[in-house]
Amino acid sequence: MSKTRFSTRTLTILALLIALEIVLSRFLSISAWNIKIGFSFVPVLVAAILFGPLEAGTVAALGDFIGALLFPIGAYFPGFTLTAFLTGLVFGFFLHKNQNWWHSIAAVGINQFILSLFLNTLWISILYGSPYVPLLATRIVQCLILTVVQLVCIQAVAKVTARYGKKVSA
């Protein structure tokens, strides 16, 4: 991939990943006002492994923003889009070149226990006026569940992208 321009193929793949992220996030996840469990991270993960941090962050942020505009779950809040972008950056930084267990654990740990647990809880607290600490306690279970799910998915996606990734991103 060129550093100055995206190829038509790359843009098409990224657009498809954004669309998939929207569908997985808005229609195929379990959501409550303070908890969300689903697989919307998978397209971001694919973008991270195939293309890198900036592309993965873009897929996550645009998926969140467009999904919020087209299929709102609640009021749009830009903090969640920031967290989505940072999540893609973290996945891309740790997993673009190497998807070993240590990189996977680092990526998931930062995403779940810093970005999702602390930062998204802050956004929910601000958005709904809920006390931060009790809200934090209710979201720990979500982070523990998603930690296991994401670690397993990273290994599965890494195997698939190792087999087909060069054909897709070439």
Statement: residue 166 has pLDDT above 90 = no
Mind listing the domains of the chain with CATH numbers? 8-169 (1.10.1760.20)
pLDDT attached to residue 158: 92
- Which of 46-50, 80-84, 143-147 shows the lowest mean pLDDT across its residues? 143-147
Task: Look at residue 2 in the predicted model and tell me its pLDDT.
Answer: 41
Nearest to 123 by CA among 67, 61, 79: 79
pLDDT band at residue 17 using 50, 70 and 90 as cut-offs: very high
Q: How far apart are CA 66 and CA 101, in angstroms?
A: 32
Enter the pTM of the model.
0.89
Residue with tokens 């998931």, as numbered in its chain: 108
Residue 128 · residue 90 · CB < 8 Å:
no
pLDDT of residue 1: 43
Rounded to an integer, the average pLDDT of 31-51 is 85
The answer on pLDDT for 31 being more than 80 is no
Least Cα distance to 10 among 56, 63, 69 occurs for 56
